[in-house]
Structure formats: C-alpha cells, structure tokens
Amino acid sequence: MRIVLVGPPGAGKGTQAHLLAKSLGIPHVSTGDLFRANISQGTPLGVQAKSFMDAGKLVPDEVTIGMAKDRIAQDDCAGGFLLDGFPRNLVQAEALDGILKEWGVALDAVLDLEVPEDEIVKRIAGRRLCRRNGAHVFHVDYNPPKTEGVCDECGGELYQRSDDTEEAVRVRLDVYHNETEPIIAYYGEQGLVSTISALGPVEEVTQRLLAALGRA
C-alpha cells in the first residue's frame, strides 16, 4: 500500500506511522526524521534544513522533494510505503503525483489525523524523541518511558526537539493551516481521504487507522 499520513504537529503522526508501518509491513518514511538524521550527521542537506526547521518553517520544496523522491525510489519502498510529513503543501503533492505517475503507481489512501488545538500544545510540550530512532516517540505524562530519559524500544537517549518551543510550534501550526491543510481538499477530490480522531489511547488510534484502511 502507498499511504500518506497528514495531521497537525503533535497529532501523533510519528508514533502512529511507526506502528502502522510495522503492522502493514511497509517502510515508514518521515521527511522530518530524514532531515534530523542529516542534521545530526552534519551533511550539507542538514545544514541547509536546520535554520528552517528551528524556525518552524518548511524546508524549500526543491530540497524536500528531491530527498523524498530518493528515499521512496529505494528498493524497500517498491511494494509500498507510509509517508509521514510529506507532502506538506500543494507543490509537493503535485510533485508526488507526478513521480508516482511516472512509475505507473498511485496512492491508495490519505489518512488525516485530527486533534483539537489545545491538545496539540500539551502534547508537544511533553514530547521526547529517541536519538537513535526518531520514530520512537514518548511523552512525559501520556506515554512515559519505563526509565526517565531512556528509550524503551532501543535504549537510546531521549531528547526534546529544538523546534518544539512555543514560538516554533505557533509558526508550525500556521504553516499547517495555510500550506498543508489545502492538500486534504486536493486528495479529497481524488476520493482518497479518511479523517480519523487522534484522541484517546495510542492503540485505539492505531486500530481506527487500520480500520480506515480495511485492515482491522
């Protein structure tokens, strides 16, 4: 299956994408994780992306589309993939359509995770990520690790994202409303969108997502 997961910052996209991809047996492709890996390795792409990310803004399309295309062109994505955080605007959505068309394939579904704005702020303030694998996501209150500061899944160190500050979150929410939300209407016209509530226990949200894909 080829799936796009959309939702505002703090909706739990990373957590859900990780679980969903595992359950469906397809790779989880997160452009945010790819950027963060480039930043921690000090690559030129990471250097280019860092200032945009820290400010909560989108990294320019030409950089992002090239990186996403290279990743989904890899062999492990031949049978499907779950995109998390890409596309994030109409230019990227149209570019993805063009790439898939060229390859003679198409998206199967777009899952839209919905969460109220006051919940977003609480979720982001307590969010902690694993340095070894950014898909291992915890929350100090809602989903605490067994040992403080240590990832349950792989023992990696947990840290707070540098763009999880109040100021950057405000910018990220504006960017989401102005640039990302229009892609939901775009995919809606193609009959691809299922909207799912991101509230409630993690496993329940995963079950809702699987049900929307007919895999529950």
**Total residues interacting with ligand AMP, rule: CB under 6 A:** 17
Q: Closest Cα partner for 183 from 173, 174, 193? A: 193
In 113-212, where does DSSP find H-type helix? 117-125, 166-175, 181-189, 202-212
Residue of 18, 128, 136, 172 interacting with ligand AMP (CB under 6 A):
172
DSSP single-letter state for residue 200 = S
Q: Among the options 36, 128, 172, 208, which is catalytic?
A: 172
- Closest distance between ligand AMP and the C-beta of residue 214, in Å? 26
Contact between 8 and ligand AMP (CB under 6 A)?
no
Partners of residue 142 on adjacent β-strands: none
- Closest distance between ligand AMP and the C-beta of residue 52, in Å? 5
Please identify, using beta-carbon distances, which residue of 169 and 216 lies nearer to ligand AMP. 169
127-130/158-159 β-pairing: antiparallel
C-beta atoms surrounding 54 within 10 Å: 15
- Contact, 172 vs 179, CB < 8 A? no
Q: Among the options 13, 50, 123, 128, which is catalytic?
A: 13
Contact between 85 and ligand AMP (CB under 6 A)?
yes
- Contact, 110 vs 184, CB < 8 A? yes
Site for ligand AMP in 29-58 (CB under 6 A): 31-32, 35, 52-53, 56-58
Positions in the binding site for ligand AMP (CB under 6 A): 9, 31-32, 35, 52-53, 56-59, 64, 85-86, 88, 92, 163, 172
Residues with a known catalytic role: 13, 88, 127, 161, 172
